[in-house]
Each structure stands twice: as structure tokens, then as C-alpha cells.
């Protein structure tokens, strides 16, 4: 249930945002492309309102289950704190102490958990697995990171960009590094928001072609562009946001050294920042390897919004939980 604090005036825009949020009740978030452009804007607006204390949401009695098969600090803690702040609860369904880790079928786990909890946030390897949970569960399933996507991260990232520049449409975000899960969700979510997304990567580490085509078609509808280039300077030139992530994602640890060689010359550093828009901000989803994909100076420097971005995981996920569980 939403408890709306008195607002100065209820504009037509806020009524349409409320309608967009209402459409999300009971839905899954498996991919950034599960949301429409209007729904994505509405979630960012709700996140911002919650952050500024303009709105209160009551999810008392609601329970979110976490099934994480990979390590996590930010996602695990921000979901837990988000539910706590909204009056709900979290249960950590740690695979090592539940039957999940012993191989109980997803079809059974999803149907049983649907009788106990109100939503599931799942972090795993294959996208197919979260899709399967969503197929069998009768409650919302949230992708808390797969090898293919990280949609919750992208919401926090664009909230951070919106806070820095006010309007998102027409901005350029340059992602420099591995064409991975984080890059994929940035491409799709950015496309929906009318942000030009430029991915710079070595040719062997390009984003998934299906995601690229999808992002391009979503971007075209918003008058934006999604590009892939193989030169770091061309990637960042004139951009308003520079973003990078680890070169070896979870599950690819054995490729770490080979990737460090393949990515030589791709460190997001002061030289690349000098090629960007003078107002450019620096983003990283964290955790980061300083001196590899990003220089220590950039993370700690004046353009960095990395820790605001991490905080925004909390606000974006409060908005997401409110929409999926609360209704408007």
C-alpha cells in the first residue's frame, strides 16, 4: 500500500507515472527490457521521491526471499535494507543451507516458495534459470544478476545520471570494458530512457548480438543510438558518463590473467576522462580492481559518483519493490 505524503499539486504527469507503476504490480523483472520506457521513467521518479522522503510506502507483512548463488555485498544488503525500510522482511534462502544447493528442481522450489514469500530476488549464472523461476512462481521474480543481465544495477545507474544532469534524454553514456551483464542492462535500460549508449571494447569482448539488436530497436523508438566501437578514445569522446566494470566477471575467474592481457590499454583513467565532456561523471558498479579496469584516481576523483551510485541501489530497489509488491 502506498501512503502518499501531501504533494503541492497532482500533475497529469504524476497521474500517468502512477498508472505506469500500477501496471508493474505482480510482474517480474528478469531483463531491463521487461519494462517500457514510461515504466522505467516512472520507477526512477518513484526512487527519487522515496530518496527525498516525499513518499512513504508500507509493505508490512510482505516477505522477499533471496536466492544468491554468487557472492554479493551491495545487492544483498540493499535489498535487505530496502525491505526493512518499507516495513517488510527478507529471508536469506542461502543455497548452502536450503535444498536449492542439493539440486531440488526449480519447478518445485519456485512453487513451494510462492506459498511462503511475496517475491524472490535471484542471483545466478544462466539467465535461463531466472526465467524458469519466473515461469513456475506465482510471485514476482527479480533478476539480481545473471551472466546476461543486471537490471537492478542499471536502474540505480540511470538514477545517478539523472541526479547529475536533470534530464536523461540526449545524454551519452560510454561503457568501456567487457561487454558483460552490466553492459547489457545499461544498453537496454539506456535505450528505453533515450540515452545514447556507446560501448567500447576489444573485438573479442563485444556485447551479445541479440541484446545489441534489441537495444538498438528500443533506442530508435526514443531517438537515441546504441553503438559498439573498438577504440577507447572513440568510445569516450564527448560523453557525459564514463562507466566500467571488471574484466573477469563472477564465473570467469580462471580467465582473469588472459583477460588482463587482452584488455591492455583499456583502463578507464585520467587520459580517457580528458576526452569526455568536461561535466562527465565516472561510474562503476563495484566491486572494482583499481589499476586494472579503472585507475584509483578516477574512483576517488572529483568526477566520481561511484558511492552515490552504490547508495542508489537502495533507492531504486525500494521503488522496484514498491511497484512489484505494493500497487498504486
- Examine the residue annotation and report whether 285 is marked as an active-site residue of this protein: yes
Q: Which helix (H) or strand (E) holds 70?
A: none
Rounded CA separation 134/120 (Å): 9
Q: Which of 88, 12, 117, 162 is nearest to 322 (CA)?
A: 88
Q: What does the per-residue mask of binding to ligand CP show for 190-229, with x meaning CB under 6 A? A: ----------------------------------------
How deeply is 320 buried, as exposed, middle or buried, from its count of CB atoms within 10 A (0-12, 13-18, 19+)?
Answer: buried
Say whether residue 152 binds ligand NVA (CB under 6 A). Answer: no
Residues 6 or more apart from 66 whose CB is under 8 A from it? Answer: 76, 79, 80, 90, 91, 92, 93, 120, 121, 122, 123, 144
The reply on whether position 74 binds ligand CP by CB under 6 A is: yes
153 included as an active-site residue: yes
Q: Is 181 in the site for ligand NVA (CB under 6 A)?
A: yes
> Does 250 contact ligand NVA by CB under 6 A?
yes
By CB under 6 A, name the one of 13, 73, 99, 217 that touches ligand CP: 73
Tell me the closest approach of the beta carbon of residue 211 to ligand CP, in angstroms.
18
- 307 near ligand CP, rule: CB under 6 A: no
**Smallest gap, in angstroms, from Cβ of residue 29 to ligand CP?**
14
Rounded to an integer, what distance in angstroms lies between the CA atom of residue 161 and that of residue 194?
A: 12
Q: Does 225 participate in catalysis according to the annotation?
A: no
Question: Which three three-digit cell numbers place residue 239?
Answer: 560523453
Among ligand NVA, ligand CP, none, the one that 245 touches (CB under a kind-dependent 5 to 8 A) is: ligand NVA
Closest CA to 142 of 58, 195, 284, 153: 153
Q: Which of 36, 115, 59 is nearest to 327 (CA)?
A: 59
157: contact with ligand NVA by CB under 6 A? no
Q: Which residue is nearest to ligand NVA (CB)?
A: 249
Q: Does 146 bind ligand NVA (CB under 6 A)?
A: no
Rounded to an integer, what distance in angstroms lies between the CA atom of residue 317 and that of residue 296?
28
> Which residues contact residue 181 at a Cβ distance below 8 angstroms, ignoring those fewer than 6 apart?
145, 146, 147, 148, 149, 150, 249
Q: List CB contacts of 220: < 8 A, sequence separation 6 or more.
A: none
Among 112, 129, 286, 327, binds ligand CP (CB under 6 A): 286
- Which of ligand NVA, ligand CP, none sits in contact with 73, Cβ below 5 to 8 A by type? ligand CP
Query: Exactly one of 44, 90, 182, 218 binds ligand NVA (CB under 6 A); which one?
Result: 182
Interaction between residue 245 and ligand NVA (CB under 6 A)? yes
75 binds ligand CP, rule: CB under 6 A: yes
Catalytic residue, candidates 20, 41, 74, 150: 150
The interface with ligand CP within residues 130-189 (CB under 6 A) comprises: 145, 153
Q: What span, in angstroms and rounded, lies between the C-alpha atoms of 100 and 110?
A: 10
Provide, rounded to whole angstroms, the least separation between the CB of residue 153 and ligand CP: 5
Cβ atoms of 202 and 180 within 8 Å: the answer is no
Residue 249 as a binder of ligand CP (CB under 6 A): the answer is no
Interface residue with ligand NVA among 249, 295, 304, 318 (CB under 6 A) is 249
| Dihedral angle over CA of 25, 326, 100, 81, nearest 10 | 140
- Positions annotated as catalytic residues are 123, 150, 153, 245, 285, 313
Residue ranges in contact with ligand CP by CB under 6 A: 72-75, 145, 153, 285-286
Residues near ligand NVA (CB under 6 A): 145, 180-182, 245-246, 249-250, 285
Amino acid at each position: 500500500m502506498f501512503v502518499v505524503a501531501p504533494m503541492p499539486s497532482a500533475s497529469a504527469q504524476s497521474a500517468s507515472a502512477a498508472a505506469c507503476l500500477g501496471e508493474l504490480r505482480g510482474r517480474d523483472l528478469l531483463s531491463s527490457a521487461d519494462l517500457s520506457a514510461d515504466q522505467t521513467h516512472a520507477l526512477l521518479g518513484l526512487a527519487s521521491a522515496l530518496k527525498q522522503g516525499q513518499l512513504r510506502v508500507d509493505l508490512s507483512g510482505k516477505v522477499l526471499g533471496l536466492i544468491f548463488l554468487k557472492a554479493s555485498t551491495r545487492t544483498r544488503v540493499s535489498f535487505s535494507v530496502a525491505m526493512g525500510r518499507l516495513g517488510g522482511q527478507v529471508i536469506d534462502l542461502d543455497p548452502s543451507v536450503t535444498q536449492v544447493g542439493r539440486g531440488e528442481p526449480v519447478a518445485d522450489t519456485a512453487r513451494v516458495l510462492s506459498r511462503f514469500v511475496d517475491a524472490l530476488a535471484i542471483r545466478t549464472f544462466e539467465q535461463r534459470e531466472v526465467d524458469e523461476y519466473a515461469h513456475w512462481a506465482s510471485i514476482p521474480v527479480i533478476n539480481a544478476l545473471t551472466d546476461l543481465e543486471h537490471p537492478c544495477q542499471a536502474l540505480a545507474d540511470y538514477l545517478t545520471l539523472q541526479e547529475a544532469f536533470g534530464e536523461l534524454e540526449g545524454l551519452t553514456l560510454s561503457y568501456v570494458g567487457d561487454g558483460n551483464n552490466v553492459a547489457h542492462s545499461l544498453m537496454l535500460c539506456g535505450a528505453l530512457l533515450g540515452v545514447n549508449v556507446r560501448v567500447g571494447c576489444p573485438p573479442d569482448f563485444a556485447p551479445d548480438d541479440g541484446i545489441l539488436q534489441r537495444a538498438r530497436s528500443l533506442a530508435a523508438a526514443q531517438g537515441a543510438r546504441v553503438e559498439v566501437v573498438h577504440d577507447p578514445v572513440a568510445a569516450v569522446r564527448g560523453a557525459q558518463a564514463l562507466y566500467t566494470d571488471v574484466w573477469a566477471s563472477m564465473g570467469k575467474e580462471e580467465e582473469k590473467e588472459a583477460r588482463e592481457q587482452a584488455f591492455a590499454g583499456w583502463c578507464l583513467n585520467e587520459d580517457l576522462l580528458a576526452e569526455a565532456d568536461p561535466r562527465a561523471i565516472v561510474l562503476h558498479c563495484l566491486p572494482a580492481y583499481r589499476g586494472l579496469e579503472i585507475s584509483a584516481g578516477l574512483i576517488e576523483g572529483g568526477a566520481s559518483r561511484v558511492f552515490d551510485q552504490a547508495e542508489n541501489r537502495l533507492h531504486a530497489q525500494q521503488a522496484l519493490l514498491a511497484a512489484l509488491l505494493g500497487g498504486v
